[in-house]
Amino acid sequence: MDVLLDISEPGQAPKPHEVRVEDLKRVVGIDLGTTYSLVAAVDMEGKPACISDESGAVSLPSVVHYPEQPGSEPVTGKEAHDLALLHPESTIASAKRLMGRGLEDLDDEAARSSFALEAGEGGMVQIAIRSKQISPVGVAAEILKSLKSRAEEALGGELHGAVITVPAYFDDAQRQATKDAGRLAGLEVLRLVNEPTAAALAYGLDQGREGMYAIYDLGGGTFDISILKLTKGVFQVMSTGGNSSLGGDDFDNTLVDLFIKEMGEENPSTELVQECKQEARRVKELLTEATEANVTISRKGGKSYNRTVSRSEFDGLIKKLIRATGLPCRRALKDAGLAPDELKGVVLVGGSTRVPAVRAFVAEIFKQEPLVDVDPDQVVALGAAHQADLLSGNRRDGLLLLDVTPLSLGIETMGELVEKIVPRNSPIPTARAQEFTTFKDGQTAMAIHVVQGERELVSECRSLARFELRGIPAMTAGAARIRVTFQVDADGLLTVSAHEETTQIAQSVMVKPAYGLSDGEIEQMLRDAITHGAEDMQARAFNEAKVDADRVLAASGAALKHDGDLLNEAELKKVKAAMLKLWESTQGKDHEVINQCIRDLDRDTTFFAQRRMDRGVQQSMTGHSVDDFS
């Protein structure tokens, strides 16, 4: 095939690539938020901008109302938000907090929800509306449809694709749910990008800065902290942390609890709770600028609840929630190997970072005032639009995004131990492989158990998937070679494959857990890994020693069965005593005792091993002359 080569005269630069409007693909970046969602696109000059609706608003409330009339289409955005007071049981808000999660994970959300939650098929939570189950994925799809329609009207045609942002701490199930929502909305999802990474992308382009930056992202329902290195167009995530169940909604809920308690309502109606939520959000937003805000909530019998909330009172109510973001921040700095004064800046993302107490805490923990010259509500969508523009091929000048895995990925090995294959904070996309072997003689199948987490024992990590590799040739233990490969794509989604190298048989699975991690579970997993680090290593050492002991005992037993006639009665008694001592050591908890007993058995059976070797040589030479072996 002939190829054209673009050249220029000596000393002259090549002609810049001209961008023509007819050549550009219509692509957008979407910030699918808990409270508000936005869509943005890049213009002819390469500048991103959020797309507004007919009223000029760029933010779409992430609310969907399902009308009672059969055949009626769901209502989204501001209109749905306004219907929440009248129809709280059929108006869904903050569905992002339900994405990819199970009912047992949602005790707090279920208690506060104005709509009913049920366990759905496969474990994922479902929303019950008039005896019909609606998936949170379907709710998210309705929001995405509205943004898609808005963008197509503004850009003058059908979209070619979209980049959708997700919290950095969304796990595999939550990411897959987001991607499924995009497909349901009729979007080609070019990529999922972590929200802090998208924010850094937009911020870096706008400011032209380089260095190490912290991205503190506190939205309506999630908190993320990322440390990024910006160098010559490369945005590399050095570490990440957060809590996928902490955000501005929780700030609102502290006020809601206060209002209901002061009203003396033990079993408040869903209508009253919904009105309290809307008033709490209004008060929170007012206190961003004002020092106090008045509250008025209608009650039965024509009465009303009235009070004034001061900023200092509000700060006291949310202090514990704000300080809960501190541990992930300190851990992210530690993982990146940085002290706070080594950061060039701290970028704020998310509407909840407008709260003065949040900004004060950020300044305290990072020892510097945060950067506030970029709109925290729009920066994620703007960065996503830039990434969509680059992925579509609209522009040749590009920035490279290097994201990371939030938790380690590995498999279960003998002794219920975790062998980590993809460590936490590994840049993605990535592919890593490791070889394993069989434990027993004649083993023809291997169970592959994929887990996620930082602990050493399987029971302390999260199970992601299980599958089996069958057809392994029957060999002695340790002879087979099974290569297990983990592939994490640019969206953070995982595929695991196992390949036996002798027969070339293979098996793979795309990891799609039924639902995601429970409330704050990722944060708890990391905290536990640090708190129980020493005890985990002790447990791992014990389990490894026990596996070795079981292997040695099995081999010794097989040797006695096959060649026990080589030993006299005293020798047999000595070997069996050493084996018994080793078995007894496995009933305790000291790995050093087990290892010493293994060494003792090895020493006490050296003569037996030599005799077995001599017998093997004699048997192999029987019937042959010396010339046959030359």
pLDDT at 404 over 80: no
Give the residue from 389, 411, 454, 422 showing the smallest Cα distance to 41.
389
pLDDT number for residue 208: 60
**pTM summary value:** 0.60
The residue with greater pLDDT, 489 or 111, is 489
What is the C-alpha to C-alpha distance for residues 381 and 48, in angstroms, rounded to an integer?
A: 9
Which tens digit of pLDDT belongs to each residue from 45-104?
Answer: 778 899 999 999 999 999 999 988 877 889 999 999 888 878 888 889 888 888 887 777
pLDDT at 544 over 60: yes
- DSSP secondary structure string, 375-414? -TTTHHHHHHHHHHHHHTTS-SS--EEEEE-SS-EEEEET
The residue with greater pLDDT, 592 or 148, is 148
CA distances from 454 to 28, 417, 419, 606 (A): 36, 12, 10, 40
The residue with greater pLDDT, 111 or 426, is 426
What is the C-alpha to C-alpha distance for residues 418 and 407, in angstroms, rounded to an integer?
A: 13
* Neighbouring residues of 439: CB distance < 8 A, sequence distance ≥ 6: 414, 477, 547, 551
Give the residue from 217, 220, 207 showing the smallest Cα distance to 237.
217
pLDDT number for residue 7: 41
319: confidence class by pLDDT, cuts 50, 70, 90? very high
Q: Catalytic residue numbers?
A: 31, 96, 195, 217
Evaluate the omega torsion of the peptide bond into residue 429 and state whether it is cis, within 30 degrees of 0: yes
The residue with greater pLDDT, 44 or 306, is 306
Q: Of 358-367, 383-392, 518-527, 593-602, which has the strongest mean pLDDT?
A: 358-367
Give the residue from 213, 243, 495, 481 showing the smallest Cα distance to 342.
213
Question: Please, are residues 173 and 515 in contact by the beta-carbon 8 Å criterion?
Answer: yes
Which tens digit of pLDDT belongs to each residue from 104-146?
Answer: 766 665 556 667 788 776 667 888 888 788 889 999 999 999 9
Check the CA dihedral 237-241-244-250 and report its sign: negative
pLDDT at 326 over 80: yes
- DSSP secondary structure string, 26-75? -EEEEE--SSEEEEEEE-TTS-EEEPP-TTS---EE-EEE--SSTTPPPE
5: confidence class by pLDDT, cuts 50, 70, 90? very low
pLDDT at 318 over 70: yes
Write the DSSP symbol of residue 123: G
Give me the domains of the chain, ranges plus CATH numbers: 29-246+324-403 (3.30.420.40), 248-321 (3.90.640.10), 405-531 (2.60.34.10), 534-619 (1.20.1270.10)
* Neighbouring residues of 247: CB distance < 8 A, sequence distance ≥ 6: 34, 218, 219, 220, 221, 222, 223, 350, 352
What is the C-alpha to C-alpha distance for residues 246 and 472, in angstroms, rounded to an integer?
A: 47
What is the C-alpha to C-alpha distance for residues 488 and 486, in angstroms, rounded to an integer?
A: 7
Write the DSSP symbol of residue 22: G
pLDDT number for residue 619: 72
Helices (H) and strands (E) counted in the chain, each on its own, are 16, 28
pLDDT at 621 over 80: no
**Three-state secondary structure call for residue 503:** coil
Give the residue from 389, 404, 81, 382 showing the smallest Cα distance to 229.
404
